[in-house]
Amino acid sequence: MFTKTMLTATLFLFCYALGIFFFAIRIRPEDQKTYSTLIEESDVLCSKRAFEKKPAMQQRFDVQKDIWTLDGVERSHARLNSRDSTLTLRQRGKKFKAEEKLQGVSGWMQEKKSQISNTGPIHLQADGKIQKLPSQFLTHHLEADKATYDGKTLSLNGAFHLTHPMGNLRSISASIEGLGIKNQPIHIFLDQQVQIDLPASEKRKQPIFIRSDRASSTLAEQHPFSFLSVQTIQFQKNVYISGSENMEAHGGLALYKKKQNVSTITLYPTLPLLYCQLLYDEISLHAETIEFLFTGEKPQLAQISTTGDSEIFLPSNGYLLCKGPLLYHPENNVLSASPQTPLQFTSDTLYLEADRARIAQPDKTLILEGNIRLISSQFQNKETYAIAETARYCAEENLLILNGSPGRKVLFWQDGFTFTAPEIHIRKDPETVQGVGDIHFTFDLDEQDYFEQIFSKYL
């Protein structure tokens, strides 16, 4: 019985193996034909050198290459990023050559290990274990009273201080999130009494500073582990900017950017505020946004610009309005508007439009320049219009002086009465008009056409 069973099992296994060979392993005539065809095609491809005539190309996007080099026992890390790359395979005889061209290349290289107060690599106590910050994380000069690190977030408390090319940054507390997490940006958050001091220049002894309740920043993608890569800092809540001894600004949010030797501070309002405020000498300016432009390694204020509607309250009686952007140059103390949205000066019964304005010291006289237009329906209770090139308004004397330009006099019109003069004085108390110089009591044809071109919509 046993022998019969063994013979039956052996026969079954033999038949099973024979079936596998016949259906799966055996080389059939069609298999030999297919293999011969592949060999022939391969020989033809190599003999004709197809890739010499037409190289193969592959397009790739968002390419990243990491490079590690040894410096003693330490490894330095470098990274190359490219917007796109083109990989080309070329044939030379029976050899192939691969070439790769990178487009839009950026990168960074590790310079040194993290340092805190120049004490060497940062080792912090977290959850009873000694933790070490990633060796790629770079700072310029970082100080704090207390620090904890949990492998992801570095928390700093008490007299946080970071020396940076953008300035000296201070706060009561700070946190740096995203450390040690691969492919995640590193964010910096500052809280309580945040302040950054911009370096002082020879002309400006007092440093410019920004103060707020909170601030934040993100390390740049091309240098994701270096404080030195920070080029933008956002200040939030109760933002205060001091530009000089007699200049300050207030808002709800500010963006401070620096690239090479050009720095900008853009101030925005946040609810419930509807505008930002700039105080300069005795002038108060309200605008939707205010931007400060600084130039030089040690920042020097080059210009101030605004966007949206702006309102300027003058130390004397009167104010300026503008429905468009304004540009202020501290060097010549000139405030300019675009031709499409001229400056509008209002003082009691007088209304003027101009391209530029400045305040002369020390008497605080307002000087308006370029395309002066005077429009009033209340002066002497009459329709009054005038065209001039410059205007000077002295509030203490209640005197407005209009001046023409070379070859063109001041044109004055009031209820059909006209006259021209090189200079016209308009007093508000009592309300009088006086021409100075060569006075003509009619417009010539050119003056009439020019006047009607300007004021036709009012007449």
Residue with tokens 């022939």: 40
Ramachandran assignment for 145, one of left (phi > 0), alpha (psi -120 to 50 degrees), beta (any other): alpha
Tell me the torsion sign for CA atoms 241, 243, 245, 249. negative
Distance, CA of 323 to CA of 340 (rounded, Å)? 9
Quick one: 454 and 427 in the same domain?
A: yes
In this structure, are residues 400 and 391 in contact, taking their beta carbons and an 8 Å threshold? yes
Q: Are residues 118 and 99 in the same domain?
A: no
| Residue 281 forms part of a structural domain | no
Does residue 339 fall inside a structural domain? Answer: yes
Which one, of 389, 376, 353, lies nearest residue 426 by Cα? 376
Domain termination site, one of 39, 73, 108: 108
Q: What is the pTM of this model?
A: 0.65
Beta strand residue intervals within 112-261, DSSP E: 123-126, 129-132, 141-143, 146-149, 153-164, 167-177, 187-197, 209-218, 232-244, 247-259
CA 408-412-418 angle, to 5 degrees, is 110
Task: Give the pairing type, strands 74-92 and 95-109.
Answer: antiparallel
Residue 21 lies in a domain: no
The closest of 149, 224, 234, 254 to 189, measured between CA atoms, is: 234
Q: Is there a single domain that holds both residue 74 and residue 125?
A: no
Q: For every residue of 389-447, which 3-state class applies, written as one string?
A: EEEEEECCCCEEEEECECCECEEEEECCEEEEECEEEEEECCEEEEEECCCECCCCHHH
Same domain (yes/no): 323, 424: yes
- Helix%, strand%, coil% for the chain, nearest 5: 15, 55, 30
Q: Which of 216, 244, 273 is the last residue of a domain?
A: 273
pLDDT at 210 (0 to 100): 92
Q: Are residues 210 and 350 in the same domain?
A: no
**Is there a domain that residue 236 lies in?**
yes
Q: How far apart are CA 213 and CA 235, in angstroms?
A: 8
pLDDT tens digits for the chain (459 residues)? 667 777 777 777 777 677 776 666 767 777 777 777 766 666 555 555 666 677 778 888 877 776 665 555 555 566 666 777 888 877 777 677 777 776 766 665 554 433 333 333 344 433 334 344 444 444 556 677 776 666 677 777 777 887 777 888 889 988 877 765 556 677 888 999 999 888 766 665 667 889 999 998 876 554 445 566 677 889 999 999 987 767 899 999 999 988 888 889 999 998 887 899 999 877 889 999 999 998 887 778 889 999 988 998 887 667 889 988 899 888 888 889 888 888 999 888 889 999 999 887 767 788 999 999 999 988 899 999 999 999 999 888 889 999 998 888 999 999 989 999 999 999 988 899 999 999 999 999 999 999 999 888 776
Are both 77 and 158 inside the same structural domain? no
pLDDT of residue 128: 36
The domain in which residue 61 lies consists of 52-108
Residue 217 lies in a domain: yes
Res 366: pLDDT? 87
- Could you tell me if 220 and 130 lie in one domain? yes
- According to the model, what pLDDT value does residue 78 have? 62
| Pair 258, 390 in one domain | no
User: Do residues 454 and 340 share a domain?
Assistant: yes
Distance in angstroms (rounded) separating the CA atoms of residues 150 and 153? 6
Residues 100 and 156 in one domain: no
Q: Is residue 437 part of a domain?
A: yes
Q: Which amino acid is at 100?
A: E
In a domain, 424, yes or no: yes
Half-sphere exposure of 151 (CA within 13 A, CB side): 4
Q: Do 208 and 231 belong to one domain?
A: yes
Domain of 382, CATH number, reads 2.60.450.10
Residue after which a domain boundary falls, among 241, 273, 305 = 273
> Does 233 lie in the same domain as 352?
no
Q: How many separate domains does the chain show?
A: 3
Q: Is 91 domain-assigned?
A: yes
